[in-house]
Amino acid sequence: MFCLTMYVMLQTLDDHKPTWQDRLGTPGMMIRPRGDTMEINTHNTESWDMYTKTLDNFLSPYNNSLQAEKNDECTPDQYFIQADSGDVKNNPKHSCQFNRTLLQECSGLDDHTYGYQAGKPCIIIKLNRVIGMLPGKDGQAPFVTCGAKKEDSDKIGEVAYYPENGIFNLMYYPYYGKKAQVNYSQPLVAIKFLNITLNEDINIECRIISNNIPPGSERDKFAGKVSFKLRINTKQ
Amino acid sequence: MGDKDGKSSPSKKNKKGKDMDELKKEVPITEHKMSIEECCRKFNTDIVQGLTNAKAAEFLIRDGPNCLTPPPTTPEWIKFCRQLFGGFSILLWTGAILCFLAYAIQAATEDEPAGDNLYLGIVLSVVVVVTGCFSYFQEAKSSKIMESFKNMVPQQALVIREGEKMTINAEEVVAGDLVEVKGGDRIPADLRVVSAHGCKVDNSSLTGESEPQSRSPDCTHDNPLETRNVAFFSTNCVEGTARGIVVCTGDRTVMGRIATLTSGLESGKTPIAKEIEHFIHLITGVAVFLGITFFILAVCLGYTWLEAVIFLIGIIVANVPEGLLATVTVCLTLTAKRMAKKNCLVKNLEAVETLGSTSTICSDKTGTLTQNRMTVAHMWFDNQIHEADTTEDQSGASFDKTSASWAALARVAALCNRAVFKAGQDQLPILKRDTAGDASESALLKCIELSCGSVKQIREKNKKVAEIPFNSTNKYQLSVHETEDPNDNRYLLVMKGAPERILDRCTTIIIQGKEQPMDEEMKESFQNAYMELGGLGERVLGFCHLLMPEDQYPKGFAFDCDDVNFTTEGLCFVGLMSMIDPPRAAVPDAVGKCRSAGIKVIMVTGDHPITAKAIAKGVGIISEGNETVEDIASRLNIPVSQVNPRDAKACVIHGTDLKELSQDQMDDILRNHTEIVFARTSPQQKLIIVEGCQRLGAIVAVTGDGVNDSPALKKADIGVAMGISGSDVSKQAADMILLDDNFASIVTGVEEGRLIFDNLKKSIAYTLTSNIPEITPFLLFIIVNIPLPLGTITILCIDLGTDMVPAISLAYEAAESDIMKRQPRNPTRDKLVNERLISIAYGQIGMIQALGGFFSYFVILAENGFLPSILVGIRLNWDDRACNDLEDSYGQQWTYEQRKIVEFTCHTAFFVSIVVVQWADVIVCKTRRNSVFQQGMKNKILIFGLFEETALAAFLSYTPGMDVALRMFPLKPSWWFCAVPYSVLIFVYDEIRKLLIRRNPGGWVERETYY
């Protein structure tokens, strides 16, 4: 009985898109390296070594060579829609290249320490994948903006965004699911704190700005935004 | 009480036990056998002067005041605590403590402990306290503390000290005091009567027999309770005066001994309390077994010890049926209310069920089985026995009233009669009216008033000119009247009295209105009639009259009653009338119902064996065709000793014989005779009889109304007192009160008790079933690391929310078959909750329910992107707050909060699924053997319950704000239907099971699954 009903239920499911997505109205945001507190000491390699390793790992699939091999070059600033023609699925679907070099100074190619040694750390931000999501309407791409929480607002200093303006280019959307779009490369935004106040805890919050992503609920601290605490020590 | 003393010192308990045995023995009064002089010597008193004041003061200090020690009352807070910590509550308290313990462990080891265990602990405590308060107030309402023994002490007493009469407070009366009592007084202490003038006392508060008994200085019987020369403390003097020496005061009086015996008795646990205890053992067994098993599993799976302990506690607590305590309490309360409507007031909630388990009823006779009102039952005139109507509502057959002999008999009975109706009762039916006068005369008065119209007019027409009242030497009463006919100047002499004495004075007899000489043939037929009526246990009176010859007794003749100057011989016999306290109309039927319900009805009475046997036959306690040993002996014309006692199903046992019996003989009688009557029993013997029955494993109900019944009432598993005629003491000792004094109400009680026992089974089966779908999610959460399918809050919503009304509604379920046709349950075999019930609820229906719940859970997760295949082992990431990009089966990424919302939606859906499968469960629990189609859906409360639980589930799911308050989320309409196939499955499965039970009675299915 149980197996039968389970079987019937599983038959009703779509292979490529879940039945309900209403809980994913506001996609979540995550940072790399993970964690809500980062404390590094510029003089102490060990305090940030693991972060750079994480980033190296995380970014390795984005190496230009790899991207070129697997993914297509797409037309920027417009959705990359690969519609199915009726019942015939247009699979596998192609994915657009997101080259590591787009992250420029935070790509870790020139500066293997991602600015950690210099006290100007890079943080990489990604937006959770949601199948079929088309963020930003009227051709306005969603972008990330970071700021400090109130009392720390004058301590955050200048923040650089890569790619330009911290946008997630429209050509990476929509996402067709891991079965149809095997080599999907999730777009990233890197931020670099250029002259953050040192030796102090600074609370930073980044949000996604888009004209069609609703602000997430109060309770969910990771829906459409992400916050973390950063402290860069320079004393030995 | 005794229990408490026992705890403080064992030696004291022994002493107490010895005291109790002592009290159970017969009254040790011997003064009645002494001469008055001996008595005076014993108490250092004087028959004329009384005690000296100094002596009295000395005795008062020695013996203490003449009052009863009030029964030790339990303080209110102890009663409250008993409600709070008794039986079922212990289980919940244990659960609550375990919860707090688990929370403490979590709080000590984790940074952000989940509040679940804390909330659960708090909710459990609240549930216990609330239900405790509820049942406390329920019982407080029914049982008022009656300090009745205290109230029975007379306020004033007239004593003679140093030769002076003085009125003193009754409490100051001491042994040896010379006391005077007169009609209307209460006897201040146990008295040895030294002189009496027409003194009659009403011993009903002691013996239950309300017939006044005369008191005189002579010792008439060895038994102090029977002898005429002892008057007892707190009985009433109805008429006349008496003087007596106080022999006992306070607690040493006969009444005091009964009071002490009663309050010292421990009544055992009620059957339902024992059943609940058994149930707790079972549940705890299952809980601990599951807990330990999964504790070991968890340790094997690599959880830390602390985590495993928390799981252990979690599993044990999850097994506690939170709502059941409340359900059981409410079910019992509802039944108690229903019984109160049918005139059975239940003082102790748990006693509601006891009558249903009862296998033996020991019933008092007078006032319980009988109307406690002498009524004319038979008449003999015209050489024929006529039957009078003894029913309470005069619905019975009447006799031929046209005979002239009857007119003569009625006239004698009306005239030779001092009883009168009390004033102001003209609108009442004749039988209900109060009379002044002795019971037999009142019976005659009512009988004549009923059949011949106003007795008052008859008496006015026949003016009384002389009268000799009844006395024990003459054994007759006579009066002389003018005749109705104004032209007839003769006087009419009427006489009534003991039949043989009357007959001796008669030379003629009226037959069909004509005087005939009294010949031997007539005398023999008189003897036969007299024997027959006497054999019916009736009190027979003879009547005769004489129209006095005018020449000897002309008009104006001065009749002298002290020195009789007229003839009292050569009279004309008119007839016999016999009286009995007739059984209540509803009793034979009720006894029959008890019989067919397998309940043994034993009569225990203070009355004479012949009367007792007659009433027992009348009401069916000795059924038609059943004979006692004596009957067999007289039928076969052989000595009693030659009859095999096994041949006789019925037996009548006299109190004095009972005294001689050993315990084994007693057991033998109780075991081998189905129809037993105990006559002339003392209060102590009643208690011994009850104990004997209990020793044989019977659950005993005792009915009674007098103080003499109270020890037995207290000792019985359920004591039933009479609400109208019952003494306060008996009501206090009883667990149940019949407000209309109707023995038939007991049948209602038995029926309700059996029904609630059956229905409680159903309620419990229903409530326990949902335990499985509540526990399995947690078990799978531990074992296969899936996200938790059902949370604590939702479990509480089921147990204390949606399950409540349907579970209670099962208490309203009608009986499946005629419950009054089956044997009483066997307390050792037929348990409230047995292994089969647990196996059905947990093993079968519960498992299907769990599958239904899991199905909805998987549906929701799958439809949101988490297919079952990736769920196993996902728990660590799932519950990791820092992981906000958890990937589902489709490659989408979820923040912690987003997937928790899905998880809580699953909880809600699981909850709703349980509601849906519980629909089917409540319907299958309606019956244990019959199909639902046979039983029907007539239980409106149950239908309401179905809608109520559904509405509540919808409310909890859809009300805005519930996401924050209870973490319950709205469900898509389709998710409501996930569990429906399982609901249907449960229904079909159980119908098939019941079909098999009905098809193969006693077969494997029945043996294994019938609960």
For B915: left if phi > 0, alpha if psi spans -120 to 50, otherwise beta; the answer is alpha
The H-or-E segment that residue B546 falls in is: strand B539-548
Which tokens in the block code for residue A61? Answer: 């699939």
Model confidence pLDDT, tens digit, residues B827-838:
888 888 888 999
Of B848, B867, B895, the CB nearest to A128: B895
Q: How high is the pLDDT of residue B3?
A: 38
Q: What percent of chain B has pLDDT over 90?
A: 25
Model confidence pLDDT, tens digit, residues B219-241:
888 878 778 888 888 888 888 88
Q: Taking Cα atoms as reference points, which of B328, B208, B33, B78 lies closest to residue B730?
A: B208
Residue A223 to chain B, least CA–CA distance (Å): 7
Domains (range + CATH), chain B = 30-56+152-261 (2.70.150.10), 270-338+751-1009 (1.20.1110.10), 344-370+585-741 (3.40.50.1000), 375-550+572-579 (3.40.1110.10)
Q: What percent of chain B has pLDDT over 70?
A: 94
Q: How high is the pLDDT of residue B397?
A: 63
Q: Is B521 on the interface with A (CB under 8 A)?
A: no
Q: Please name the residue of chain B whose CA is at the shortest distance from the CA of residue A2.
A: B851
Q: Is B882 on the interface with A (CB under 8 A)?
A: yes
Report whether pLDDT(B515) > 80.
Answer: yes
Query: What SS3 string covers B818-863?
Result: CHHHCCCCCCCCCCCCCHHHHHHHHHHHHHHHHHHHHHHHHHHHHH
Residue B112 binned pLDDT confidence (cut-offs 50, 70, 90)? confident
- Residue A145 pairs in a beta bridge with A207
B215 vs B204: CA distance, rounded Å: 15
Prediction ipTM score: 0.93
Active-site residue set of B: 364
Which of B861, B885, B971 is the best residue to mutate to test the A interface, defined by the most A CB atoms within 10 Å of its own CB? B885
Backbone angles phi, psi at A38, to 5 degrees: -125, 125
pTM, two decimal places: 0.83
B622 vs B228: CA distance, rounded Å: 32
B771 vs B777: CA distance, rounded Å: 11
- Rounded (5°) CA angle A223-A227-A233: 165
Q: How high is the pLDDT of residue B894?
A: 93
- In this prediction, residues A33-53 reach a mean pLDDT of 87
Residue B704 binned pLDDT confidence (cut-offs 50, 70, 90)? confident
How many Cβ atoms sit within 10 Å of the Cβ of residue B668? 13
Q: How high is the pLDDT of residue B791?
A: 86
CB contact under 8 A, A23 and B901: yes
Model confidence pLDDT, tens digit, residues A64-89:
999 988 888 888 888 888 887 777 77
Q: How high is the pLDDT of residue B384?
A: 86
How many residue pairs bridge chain A and chain B with CB atoms within 8 Å of each other? 108
CB contact under 8 A, B972 and A20: yes
DSSP state of A181: -
Which tokens in the block code for residue B481? Answer: 């009247």
CB contact under 8 A, A130 and B882: no
Report whether pLDDT(B261) > 90.
Answer: no
Q: How high is the pLDDT of residue B908?
A: 95
Better-predicted residue by pLDDT, A218 or A180: A180
Chain B residues close to A184, C-beta within 8 Å: 891
Chain B residues close to A24, C-beta within 8 Å: 892, 894, 898
Better-predicted residue by pLDDT, B306 or A208: A208
Q: Is B867 on the interface with A (CB under 8 A)?
A: yes
The H-or-E segment that residue B347 falls in is: none
Q: How high is the pLDDT of residue B145?
A: 40
Q: Is B603 helix (H, G, I), strand (E, B) or coil?
A: strand
CB contact under 8 A, B882 and A36: yes
Q: Is the peptide bond before A142 cis (omega within 30 degrees of 0)?
A: no
Residue B9 binned pLDDT confidence (cut-offs 50, 70, 90)? very low
CB contact under 8 A, A28 and B865: no
- In this prediction, residues A175-187 reach a mean pLDDT of 89
Residue A197 binned pLDDT confidence (cut-offs 50, 70, 90)? confident
A122 vs A190: CA distance, rounded Å: 7
Of B884, B888, B978, the CB nearest to A30: B884
- Pairing status of strand B675-679 against strand B571-580: unpaired
Q: How high is the pLDDT of residue B13?
A: 43
Q: Taking Cα atoms as reference points, which of B267, B272, B266, B277 lies closest to residue B352?
A: B272
- Lowest mean pLDDT of B538-552, B850-864, B894-908, name the range: B538-552
Given a contact cutoff of 8 angstroms between Cβ atoms, the answer to whether B88 and B280 are in contact is yes
Q: How high is the pLDDT of residue B765?
A: 93
- Lowest mean pLDDT of B142-151, B418-427, B573-582, B792-801, name the range: B142-151
Given a contact cutoff of 8 angstroms between Cβ atoms, the answer to whether B939 and B812 are in contact is yes
Better-predicted residue by pLDDT, B642 or A123: A123
Give the strand order in the sheet containing B360-363: B344-346, B736-738, B718-722, B700-704, B360-363, B600-604, B675-679, B650-654
End-to-end CA distance of chain A: 67
- In this prediction, residues A5-15 reach a mean pLDDT of 85
Q: Return mean pLDDT, chain A.
A: 87
Kindly write down the DSSP assignment for every residue of B951-998, as one continuous string: HHHHHHHHSTTHHHHT---PPPGGGGGTTHHHHHHHHHHHHHHHHHHH
Model confidence pLDDT, tens digit, residues B40-85:
888 888 888 888 888 888 888 888 888 877 766 677 788 888 888 8
Chain A residues close to B982, C-beta within 8 Å: 1
- In this prediction, residues B887-891 reach a mean pLDDT of 91
Contacts of B11 (CB under 8 A, 6+ apart): none
CB contact under 8 A, B882 and A35: yes
Q: How high is the pLDDT of residue B147?
A: 45
Write out the residues of chain A at the interface with chain B, using a CB-CB cutoff of 8 A: 1-2, 5-6, 9-10, 13, 16-21, 23-24, 27-30, 34-36, 126, 128-131, 175, 177-179, 181, 184, 217, 219-223, 226
Q: Helix B305-318 to helix B116-142 angle, to the nearest 10 degrees?
A: 30
Q: Return mean pLDDT, chain B.
A: 85
Of A10, A16, A36, the CB nearest to B862: A10
CB contact under 8 A, B868 and A6: yes
Model confidence pLDDT, tens digit, residues B523-563:
899 999 999 888 888 889 999 999 888 888 888 888 887 78
Better-predicted residue by pLDDT, B417 or A90: B417
- In this prediction, residues B403-421 reach a mean pLDDT of 87
Of B855, B868, B895, the CB nearest to A223: B895
Q: How high is the pLDDT of residue B153?
A: 47
Q: How high is the pLDDT of residue B807?
A: 93
The CA–CA distances, whole Å, from B131 to B27, B137, B165, B330, B557 equal: 46, 10, 59, 9, 82
How many Cβ atoms sit within 10 Å of the Cβ of residue B502? 23
Of B868, B896, B901, the CB nearest to A222: B896
Model confidence pLDDT, tens digit, residues B713-760:
989 999 998 888 777 778 888 888 888 888 888 888 899 999 999 999
CB contact under 8 A, A220 and B898: yes
Q: How high is the pLDDT of residue A84?
A: 79
Q: Is B410 on the interface with A (CB under 8 A)?
A: no
Model confidence pLDDT, tens digit, residues B778-805:
999 988 999 999 988 898 899 888 999 9
Model confidence pLDDT, tens digit, residues B331-352:
988 898 888 888 888 888 888 8
Q: Is B404 on the interface with A (CB under 8 A)?
A: no
Q: How high is the pLDDT of residue B227?
A: 84
Q: Taking Cα atoms as reference points, which of A17, A23, A169, A151 lies closest to residue B902?
A: A23
Q: How high is the pLDDT of residue A192?
A: 92
- In this prediction, residues B753-777 reach a mean pLDDT of 92
Of B855, B892, B981, the CB nearest to A130: B892
Report whether pLDDT(B626) > 90.
Answer: no
Residue B953 to chain A, least CA–CA distance (Å): 22
Residue B270 to chain A, least CA–CA distance (Å): 44
Q: Please name the residue of chain B whose CA is at the shortest distance from the CA of residue A228.
A: B882
Alpha helices, H only, B864-895: 868-871, 875-878
Q: Taking Cα atoms as reference points, which of B494, B497, B462, B457 lies closest to residue B476?
A: B497
Provide the sign of the torsion angle of the four alpha carbons B779, B780, B781, B783, taken in this order: positive
Rg (alpha carbons) of chain A, rounded to whole number: 20
Given a contact cutoff of 8 angstroms between Cβ atoms, the answer to whether B630 and B652 are in contact is yes
Q: How high is the pLDDT of residue A59?
A: 92
End-to-end CA distance of chain B: 39
How many Cβ atoms sit within 10 Å of the Cβ of residue B384? 15
Model confidence pLDDT, tens digit, residues B585-610:
889 999 999 999 999 999 998 888 88
Q: Is B973 on the interface with A (CB under 8 A)?
A: no
Q: How high is the pLDDT of residue B544?
A: 92
Largest CA distance in chain A: 67
Q: What percent of chain A has pLDDT over 70?
A: 100
B531 vs B537: CA distance, rounded Å: 10
Which of A19, A127, A228 is the best residue to mutate to test the B interface, defined by the most B CB atoms within 10 Å of its own CB? A19
Residue A219 to chain B, least CA–CA distance (Å): 7
- In this prediction, residues A127-134 reach a mean pLDDT of 90
Residue B846 binned pLDDT confidence (cut-offs 50, 70, 90)? very high
Chain A residues close to B981, C-beta within 8 Å: 1, 5
Q: Is B844 on the interface with A (CB under 8 A)?
A: no
- In this prediction, residues A165-170 reach a mean pLDDT of 89
Of B865, B868, B893, the CB nearest to A18: B865
